[in-house]
Amino acid sequence: MKTKLHLLILSFAILLLSGSCNKQGKNTPPEDKMTEKKIDALLRQMTLEEKVGQMNQYSGWVDTTGPNFGDKNIFEEIKKGWVGSVLNITGTENVRMIQHMAVDCTRLHIPLIFGLDVIHGYRTIFPVPLAEACSWDLEAIEQGARIAATEASSAGINWTFAPMVDIARDPRWGRIMEGAGEDPYLGSLVAAARVKGFQGNDLSADNTIVACAKHYAAYGAAEGGRDYNTVDISERTLRDVYLRPFKAAAEAGCGTFMNSFNEIGGIPSTGNSHLLRDILKCEWNFRGFVVSDWGSVGEMINHGVAANKADAAALAATAGCDMDMESRCYREELVNLVRQGKVDMKYIDDAVRRILRIKFQLGLFDDPYRYCNPEREKNLILHPDHLKAAKEMAIKSMVLLRNEGNILPLKKSGQTIALIGPLAASKDDMIGGWSALGQGNDAVSLYEGLTAKLGNASRIVYARGCGIAEENRTGFQEAINAVRKADVILLAMGESRHMSGEASSRACIDLPGVQEDLIKEIIKLGKPTVLVLFNGRPLVIPWIAEHVPAILEAWFPGIRGGEAIADILFGDAVPSGKLVTTFPHSIGQIPLYYNHKNTGRPYSPDSYYTSRYLDETNDPLFPFGYGLSYTTFAYSGLQLSDSVMTGNKPLTVTVTVTNTGNYDAEEVVQLYVRDMVGSVTRPVKELKGFKKVPIKKGESVKVSFTLTEADLRFYDINMNFVSEPGEFRVYAGGNSRDVLEGSFWLK
Ligand code: GLC
């Protein structure tokens, strides 16, 4: 009996060590077994060189999204079978030409997979992902990804490096723009929605593309908010916060992951077998493949964990990084490393199996030119239905931060409107960063949106006033003259599209340049003033938030942004967005997020010895979940179906929401929970549910949520993912601050 048990333990250990963790067998769907047989047959034919070729990815010429590591003859490399994938090559003609080299000129005719950063649209550009998340509309988010996949796949692309699912608590970090904000619960739902949107129900269909959850992992926790910087967090924080959206993406069937540039606690993600093998490939049973980020294999030399490219290649391949994007370390070193016995062939076979599996699932072996139909490309790109959806998402994603005296919505006729600011007439900035094949010329600026809506009904006097990040004030006078002539002032201010995204961290996150100075001059004139903000991150705007009566957060609203903003400003749409990232009062408060710990000395105005600043509040300027409407909502009657939750009996939480204003509108009703006592410290609030609910003016609706024991689980003192009996508080409201409170006990 003992021998049998030992054998069982030994075989599991070998399975784990083999790095495959492919739990084949009884639970593998029949079609996968057919694919696995085809992969087995192909692997048996492949030389070591051909296998390493599959693990090598080069960038093409349509875009360059990373540093240049020297010239390569990509065509010759493909024909010799040294390339498994290319990125940044698009268009059915280009893709057909390149695919031909792989399929017709190589010995085994293995097709390439074509990747591109289709982050928030291919040519029909949607609002940036941070904006989309502020819609809290998962169906609309999934639809946006579906449309992006439809257009990208019509242009030869079958793999997107999205969704970016990094939790971000530091707005200095430019890549906060690419994700879904600071909350793991919302981030997980958005991750799954985007994966489903990109991948659809059938990866082999010609309008679906394989997704890529990135950047695995904890890239958003970079010290100082500085891109690529050091991350040092506990395993508990890693799992409770940063890994949750990645797990959700894996559970949604995401076909690929991209490892991040950063280290975690001294180990770069590219060479982190705990992250790539123990958690992703074994614990989560992930059967797709991991691609490195651009050059990140070779960058382990800079990290100081590899002395040279050979060390870096060995470390990455052994740890579970299956494909090397652009560093050439695998291409130049892996064959020798295997021949010298320094890298076990099993890691190569596992990586190639995973890559081939995705290529089979995409249908590329059945028809390598499936994504090369010029008719589809012509008919689908910039389709009117896509443009309409992009506008609708823009409307849903905007957040009304202030509306003192109900200045908004504005009257459409009989007014002179001064339109001031460097973003007023900008088309380029509407599409934000990471906008794939998006073109500024396709976009509608705010100026164009206003003129299209108002025609001659009102007069628009435009003055740029100043640049985005320049110190030049010579345009101030023209702006002030325009303001003097006007009944109402529309300010279009913020960041340029290049001030967020990759390698775009900012140490100072107020309005750049002299924009705030111009606002102060204009406010002195005492006219009704509305600020429309264009930005890719929360900004530090305390003076503006106090003195500008109406503020609409438009983010980078995409290809129909100007029209969407005009609809909201003039009441043809009612704002319904809610913040997914905290706006701090000052940069000194960062990191500042709603689901923080209580500490042993939580802030108290009655105590000197308390967690606070001498010179700043602890409170945010605008909290997570915050957003106004043109109407108002009142919350009442928070009720729980029981005061005790037993293991398998869920609780129902109900709250009444009344539309107490003059507009039919939508409200994002939010449910938070607090675990009062745990074996480890627990956040003061955690989002556990939300519903975006249409409520007619004067109406009251009861909104119910189901809470289960599983919703209360976390990593306990022993790192077990469990719930613990005890008291829980429940909160319901229209943001994370202004809430009704209840409580229950978990037995
Ligand atoms: C970039 C980014 C990553 C992107 C990749 C390919 O460096 O970090 O998000 O997908 O390279 O463009």
pLDDT tens figures, 544-583: 999 999 999 999 999 999 999 999 999 999 999 999 999 9
- Helix pair 561-569, 446-454: axis angle to 10 deg: 50
Q: For residue range 584-611, what is the model confidence (pLDDT) as tens digits?
A: 999 999 999 999 999 999 999 999 999 9
Catalytic residue numbers, as ranges = 293
Q: What is the pLDDT of residues 617-666, one digit of tens each?
A: 999 999 999 999 999 999 999 999 999 999 789 999 999 999 999 999 99
> Mean pLDDT, the chain, as a whole number?
95
How far is the centre of ligand 1, averaged over its atoms, from the C-alpha of 198 (Å)?
A: 18
Rg of the chain over Cα atoms, rounded to whole angstroms, equals: 27
Place of tokens 């043809």: 572
Q: Are 234 and 258 in contact (CB under 8 A)?
A: no
Is 219 touching ligand 1 by the criterion CB < 6 Å? no
pLDDT in tens, 374-407: 999 999 999 999 999 999 999 999 999 999 999 9
Q: In this structure, what DSSP letter does residue 707 have? A: E
Q: Is the pLDDT of residue 4 over 90?
A: no
| Mutation pick for ligand 1 pocket among 57, 62, 117 (CB with most ligand atoms within 8 Å) | 117
What phi and psi values does residue 108 have, to the nearest 5 degrees? -105, 5
Q: Whose CA is nearest to atom 3 of ligand 1?
A: 293
pLDDT of residue 3: 52
pLDDT tops 70 at residue 339:
yes
Q: Is 178 in the pocket of ligand 1 (CB under 6 A)?
A: no
* Ligand 1 pocket residue status of 293, Cβ below 6 Å: yes
Report the nearest atom of ligand 1 relative to the CA of 164.
Answer: 9
The length of the chain, given as a count of residues: 747
5 falls in which pLDDT band (50, 70, 90)?
Answer: low
Residue 729 burial (10 A CB sphere; 0-12, 13-18, 19+):
middle
Tell me, what's the pLDDT at 31?
Answer: 65
Q: How do residues 686-701 score in pLDDT, each as one tens digit?
A: 999 999 999 999 999 9
The response to whether residue 294 sits with its C-beta less than 6 Å from ligand 1 reads yes
Select the more confidently predicted residue: 14 or 162: 162
321: closest CA among 295, 339, 283, 340? 295
Residue with the smallest CA separation from ligand 1 atom 12 is 65
Sign of CA dihedral 718, 722, 724, 730: positive
Q: How far is CA 252 from CA 146, 322, 456, 460, 518, in A?
A: 15, 21, 50, 48, 48
- The reply to whether ligand 1 has any atom less than 6 angstroms from the CB of 66 is yes
Q: Which atom of ligand 1 is nearest to the CA of 66?
A: 7
How far is CA 563 from its chain centroid?
Answer: 24
Choose among 733, 707, 550: nearest CA to 624: 733
- How many angstroms is it from 168 CA to the middle of ligand 1? 17
Q: Would the CB of 273 count as within 6 Å of ligand 1?
A: no
30 pLDDT tier (thresholds 50, 70, 90): low
Between the alpha carbon of residue 457 and those of residues 490, 565, 735, the distances in Å are 16, 18, 37
C-alpha–C-alpha distance, residues 243 and 248, integer Å = 9
pLDDT level of residue 1 (50, 70, 90 thresholds): very low
What is the share, in percent, of the chain residues with pLDDT greater than 90?
94
Cα separation, 592 vs 157, in Å, equals: 39
Sign of the Cα torsion 290, 296, 298, 299 reads: negative
Token pair recorded at residue 33? 């077994």
pLDDT digits (tens, 9 = 90+) for 466-496: 999 999 999 999 999 999 999 999 999 999 9
Ligand 1 binding pocket includes 728 (Cβ within 6 Å): no
Sorting pLDDT into bands at 50, 70 and 90, what band is 9? low
**What is the rounded distance in angstroms from the CA atom of residue 418 to the CA atom of residue 518?**
14
What distance in angstroms lies between residue 376's CA and the mean position of ligand 1's atoms? 27
Contact 552, 562 (CB under 8 A): no
Whole-number Å distance between alpha carbons of 622 and 626: 6
Confidence at 19, pLDDT banded by 50, 70, 90: very low
Average pLDDT of the segment spanning 177-199 = 98
Nearest ligand 1 atom to alpha carbon 117: 10
Is 144 in contact with 132 (CB distance < 8 Å)?
yes
* Ligand 1 binding pocket includes 377 (Cβ within 6 Å): no
Which atom of ligand 1 sits closest to the CA of residue 215? 9
pLDDT at 648: 86
Distance CA 247, CA 244 (A): 5
Token pair belonging to 512: 């750049």
* Ligand 1, pocket-test mutation among 159, 161, 256, most atoms within 8 A of CB: 161
The tokens for 640 are 């729980």
Q: Is 732 left (phi over 0), alpha (psi -120 to 50) or beta?
A: beta
Measured between alpha carbons, how far is 131 from 395 in angstroms, rounded to an integer?
Answer: 10
CA 176–ligand 1 middle distance (angstroms)? 14
Expressed in angstroms and rounded, the spacing between residue 435 Cα and the centre of ligand 1 is 13
* Strand partners for 268: 263
Q: How far is the CA of 67 from the centre of ligand 1 (A)?
A: 11
The answer, yes or no, to whether any atom of ligand 1 lies below 6 A from the CB of 295, is no
Distance (angstroms) between ligand 1 centre and the Cα of 575 equals 33
Average the pLDDT over 232-243 and give the result. 98
Average pLDDT, stretch 673-685? 98
Supply the pLDDT for residue 16: 46
pLDDT (average), residues 311-323? 98
Measured distance CA(130)–CA(141) in Å, rounded: 11
pLDDT at position 285 over 70: yes
Give percent helix, percent strand, percent coil of the chain, each to the nearest 5: 35, 20, 45
The residue whose CA has the least distance to atom 8 of ligand 1 is 293
| pLDDT over 60 at 23, yes or no | no
Contact indicator for 151, 122 with CB cutoff of 8 Å: yes
CA of 533 to the centre of ligand 1 (A): 27
The reported pLDDT for the residue numbered 72 is: 80
Which residues is 506 bridged to in the sheet?
A: none
Write the pLDDT tens digit of every residue in 251-270: 999 999 999 999 999 999 99
Which residue ranges form the domains of the chain, and what is each CATH number?
1-10+50-114+293-382 (3.20.20.300), 394-589 (3.40.50.1700), 633-746 (2.60.40.10)
Neighbours of 547 (CB within 10 A): 14
d(CA 619, CA 737): 10
CA of 265 to the centre of ligand 1 (A): 22
Q: How far apart are CA 291 and CA 322, in angstroms?
A: 6
Note the pLDDT of residue 61: 78
Mutate to test the pocket of ligand 1, among 157, 177, 297, 502 (most ligand atoms within 8 A of CB): 502
The burial of 603, by beta-carbon neighbours within 10 Å (0-12 exposed, 13-18 middle, 19 or more buried), is given as: middle
pLDDT given at position 70: 74
**How many degrees, rounded to 5, is the angle at CA 489 between CA 484 and CA 495?**
120
Alpha helices, DSSP H only, in 559-602?
561-569
| Sheet hosting strand 256-259, strand order edge to edge | 212-216, 256-259, 289-291
Helix (H, G, I), strand (E, B) or coil at 52: helix
For tokens 């199996």, the residue is 353
Q: Round to whole Å and give the CA distance between 673 and 98.
A: 53
67 band by pLDDT with thresholds 50, 70 and 90:
confident
pLDDT at 482: 98
Ligand 1 neighbourhood includes 115 CB (under 6 angstroms) = no
Mutate to test the pocket of ligand 1, among 59, 65, 261 (most ligand atoms within 8 A of CB): 65
Q: Is the CB–ligand 1 distance for residue 175 below 6 Å?
A: no
- The verdict on the CB of residue 58 being under 6 Å from ligand 1 is no
216 lines ligand 1 (CB under 6 A): no
Residue 583 amino acid letter: F
| Spatial separation of the C-alpha atoms in residues 183 and 590, rounded to whole Å | 16
Expressed in angstroms and rounded, the spacing between residue 116 Cα and the centre of ligand 1 is 9
